[in-house]
Amino acid sequence: MSTPPAPTRAPAVECAGLRYRFGDHVAVDGVEPTGAPAVECAGLRYRFGDHVAIDGVDLDVRTGEMFGLLGPNGAGKTTTIRILTTLLPVVEGEARVFGLDVSASPMQARRLVGYVPQQLSADGQLTGRENVSMFARLFDVPRRERADRVAEVLDAMNLQEAADRVAATYSGGMVRRLELAQALVNRPRVLILDEPTIGLDPVGRDTVWDRLRSLQAEGITVLLTTHYMEEAEELCNRVALMHRGRIRAVGTPAELEARLGPEATLEDVFRFYAGDSLEEGGELRDVRSTRRVARRLG
Ligand SMILES: Nc1ncnc2c1ncn2[C@@H]1O[C@H](COP(=O)(O)OP(=O)(O)OP(=O)(O)O)[C@@H](O)[C@H]1O
Ligand SMILES: [Mg+2]
């Protein structure tokens, strides 16, 4: 098993508001304005009617790391992510992306984030290229750069050959890579993925893992949710265990395992913090929403 690089709290290199122009072309536009963590949640709470979906979430994702949010069905992972991506409002608590309050500056925050949702976000009736172009327009990628940027991310996701076929003909792994391309077209600094490999076969899964590792190596921070302990162990520098709307434990997989004993696995850690709800089996709607994602595009 390969060991992921372990970023420390101290930045290796710090830039504050760097700007550089070649003529009219802005090459570096405000890199790392604050040195703040990539993602911060403090005391986040959210209710659906009477139901408390998240109940005081505190979370820090450091710049440059790959961070895994783990937890059983219904734990509150997607709700947390939807607040961070401005799809749900901040009702109580704070959510920041690179120091920007997502509630006060939703548009600026959105520009820093690439999001691959748990539900399918690609349209089966459009080609791969058309799907990515639509995201480029949504994110205001300048018109004259659009075609190049779309080609660049399709290339990076190894979809150049399939780019002009409708997405309904793609395999599950290709759809996931297409969704990654969509999320990357606005050149985000943090990529947030909700169960990126659900329903994929081992080959599709490995390809997505490779792409995520390359993106991390290019300096993109990654926050992902997963139910696969192997995935968390293989990819993530640190993980958080979420249960019933709260973060129960945070650390490197090795640290969390060591807390339980010399032989403990990440699955033991998961069961230790979330075991009671596993017996209940989660709510039907939680399981159903997970399944829907596992299906291919129709
Ligand atoms: N739109 C909604 N309306 C009502 N309740 C909701 C809604 N979305 C989520 N919930 C509830 O909020 C809680 C947290 O759900 P959430 O989707 O955040 O969990 P999750 O950790 O992402 O689960 P999964 O692993 O199944 O994706 C669950 O009890 C869920 O039933
Ligand atoms: Mg979810």
CB 256 within 8 A of CB 86: no
Looking at residue 139, what is its pLDDT? 86
Q: How many CB atoms lie within 10 A of CB 133?
A: 20
Q: How many CB atoms lie within 10 A of CB 60?
A: 18
Distances (CA, A) of 230 to 24, 57, 72, 155, 234: 47, 25, 15, 28, 6
Looking at residue 18, what is its pLDDT? 58
Residues flanking ligand 1, CB < 6 Å: 48, 51, 53, 71, 73-79, 118, 283, 285-286, 289-290
Structure tokens at 68: 């895994």
Q: What's the CA-to-centroid distance between 72 and ligand 1, angstroms?
A: 10
Residue partners of 293: CB distance under 8 A and separation at least 6:
118, 119, 120, 195, 198, 199
d(Cα 184, Cα 157) in Å, to the nearest integer? 10
d(Cα 205, Cα 212) in Å, to the nearest integer? 11
Could you give the count of Cα atoms lying within 13 Å of 287 in the half-sphere of its Cβ?
7
Number of residues assigned to the chain? 298
Looking at residue 32, what is its pLDDT? 44
2 phi, psi to nearest 5 deg: -80, 145
Looking at residue 6, what is its pLDDT? 58
Q: What's the CA-to-centroid distance between 79 and ligand 1, angstroms?
A: 6
d(Cα 40, Cα 153) in Å, to the nearest integer? 27
Q: Which ligand is nearest to the CA of 227?
A: 1
d(Cα 260, Cα 39) in Å, to the nearest integer? 28
Please name the fold of domain 38-112+190-201+214-298. Answer: Rossmann fold (3.40.50)
Runs of H (alpha helix) within the chain? 77-84, 106-112, 128-138, 143-156, 172-184, 202-217, 229-235, 253-260, 266-280, 284-294
Looking at residue 14, what is its pLDDT? 61
pLDDT tens, N- to C-terminus, the chain (298 residues): 455 555 555 665 666 655 544 444 333 333 344 557 999 999 999 999 999 999 999 999 999 999 999 999 999 999 999 999 999 999 999 999 999 999 999 999 999 999 999 888 899 999 999 999 999 998 888 999 999 999 999 999 999 999 999 999 999 889 999 999 999 999 999 999 999 998 888 988 999 999 999 999 999 999 999 999 999 999 999 999 999 999 999 999 999 999 999 899 999 999 999 876 555 544 444 444 444 444 445 4
Q: Whose CA is nearest to atom 3 of ligand 1?
A: 48
d(Cα 57, Cα 146) in Å, to the nearest integer? 37
Pocket test for ligand 1, best of 116, 248, 280, 286 (most atoms within 8 A of CB): 286
Output the furthest CA–CA distance in the chain (Å, rounded).
63
Closest CA to 272 of 15, 71, 17: 71
Q: How many CB atoms lie within 10 A of CB 181?
A: 28
Say whether 172 sits in a helix, a strand or coil: helix
Angle between helices 143-156 and 172-184 in degrees, nearest 10 = 140
Q: Where are the domains of the chain?
A: 38-112+190-201+214-298, 119-187
Pocket test for ligand 1, best of 91, 285, 291, 293 (most atoms within 8 A of CB): 285
